[in-house]
Structure 1
Amino acid sequence: MTATLVYLAPRSATLFTDGMMVGPNGAMIAMKQKVQIAAHQSAAFVGRGPDMFGALLAVAVAQVQGSFDDLVRAFPEQVVGAHRAMMSALQAGHSVSADPALIDGVLVGIDGSGRARGICVSSYDDDGHPPWTAKALTPAVPPSAAQLRFTPEDIQPALAFASPWPASMDFDLAVSSVKPWEPCADVREHGRRIMRAQRASGTVGCFCQMTTLTAGAVVTEIVERWT
């Protein structure tokens, strides 16, 4: 299950992912980049769940032509298709490392108007949002209408999605004086510290990767490596 953080500001989207790949028995078998980048569509995405689902989602999304807006419209169908393909493989005798019934597809990018967006498609009811449909990701503390209209460049990124969230995370973040849901001046450091806390889940490891999208660029880097 890929550790995932999404930060949104009016003109930028940032996606954090880890790099640990586990086998069917739950043991680490490799490290890998999990984020998928579609620079020509100003997009990045990740499939959360068994590694097989993430790989199949990458194949499905690669078939979508057009802009980021086209990708947003097609994304739920691609998530459903990738999940069906995985379930067919399981019926044929393949095994996976996580619960195949619990998956998420997370997509971020820059739309045609230059605005950053993020959506999540899940296989389960997410706080009343129906499964297999696109849920818009929004910061817990959204900017005001006046800020969006007059000073969007001054709005700091804020966390809009975070999973997993181990039981110990609230305490760990409080001890380190991290306020997870408030806008942050240094998204790189904020995300690194949150993903460090995510490691308590036991399924997060190898490295923390940060991918940032703006209207003119996609930049990705390894923020921290773990043994």
Structure 2
Amino acid sequence: MTACNIFVLSDQIRVWTDGAAVDTDGHLIHRQQKVGFLPHLNAVVVIRGPALAPPMVELWLGSLHETFDDLVDGLSATLRGLIQDHADKWEVRGAGSAFELLLAGFSESRKTPEVYWIEDSRRLDDIKRRGAISIVPADDVTTRRLTEAFPGMSEKKALRSDDVQLRLMELQRDVRARPNFYDGLPSGGVGAFAQLTTVTRSGISTRIVRRWPDRIGKKLGGAS
């Protein structure tokens, strides 16, 4: 499953994602970016779930809304229509079509950076606004190891630190399989590359920060 870690500052939103598409056994199928760009809305969207869902969700959200505020207000209705008409196109045999969504952008009316989260597309009315830090996936062990790696570091400094945020991706990568949110079975992992996308009031930029030596057809980390 995709890693998506989001750090919200007053002047920017930092979105970290990995680039591994894997099968149900954790083998790398291909590499792909997992951030959907909506520059005319000054926003990005990240989907965790079936590999073919992100481009369709990105297309729908970008085509049917004119501002970020309008997108936030109409998010549930837009996704409901898309899923009703097209979910069969990205459905994975044995895993279904459900996905998790994170939306990040700048509100025009509230003048604030904002992140919204839908944990499960089967519960579209359950939209939560997130705080300064969103770590997905997260667990107590990863959090503890990150704290141990940077003892005494303040949250304010961590929010702007490439080193801390990349280290978090490395720690998430160490966990080879996590349960899917839709069936509880182990799946996926973090790999291929670490990508940092930055959203500011003036635009969006993205870059690859780390490339991992994962190979197509092999499990992430080089295992067979």
Calculate the TM-score normalised by the size of structure 2.
0.76
Which residue is 2:196 aligned to? 210
Distance (Å, rounded) in 1 between the aligned partners of 2:114 and 2:71: 12
Which residue is 2:143 aligned to? 170
Contact 2:37 2:58 in 1 (8 A): no
Contact 2:41 2:62 in 1 (8 A): no
> What is the root-mean-square deviation of aligned Cα atoms in Å?
2.8
SS of 2:157's partner is: coil
In structure 2, the CA distance between the partners of 1:198 and 1:80, relative to structure 1 (3 Å rule), is: farther
Contact 2:42 2:105 in 1 (8 A): yes
Deviates more, 1:8-17 or 1:179-188: 179-188
Contact 1:168 1:200 in 2 (8 A): no
Compute the displacement of 1:167 (Å).
Answer: 5.4
Which residue is 1:153 aligned to? none
SS of 1:168's partner is: helix
Which residue is 1:143 aligned to? none
Distance (Å, rounded) in 1 between the aligned partners of 2:192 and 2:66: 34
Query: Match for 1:190 among 130, 148, 164?
Result: 164
Distance (Å, rounded) in 2 between the aligned partners of 1:180 and 1:33: 30
Q: Deviations over 1:186-207 (max 9, x none)?
A: 3322211111111023210011
Contact 1:105 1:121 in 2 (8 A): yes
Compute the displacement of 1:225 (Å).
Answer: 1.0
In structure 2, the CA distance between the partners of 1:124 and 1:56, relative to structure 1 (3 Å rule), is: closer
Which residue is 1:107 aligned to? 103
Which residue is 2:118 aligned to? 121
SS of 1:63's partner is: helix
Distance (Å, rounded) in 2 between the aligned partners of 1:178 and 1:87: 45
Q: How many residues align?
A: 199
| Structure 2 runs not aligned, ≥5 long | 177-188, 214-224
Contact 1:101 1:123 in 2 (8 A): no
Contact 1:118 1:136 in 2 (8 A): yes
Q: Deviations over 1:53-83 (max 9, x none)?
A: 3233223223223111111122223444455
Percent identity for Structure 1 against Structure 2: 24
Q: Deviations over 1:22-56 (max 9, x none)?
A: 13543211111110111111001111122133233
| Structure 1 runs not aligned, ≥5 long | 140-158
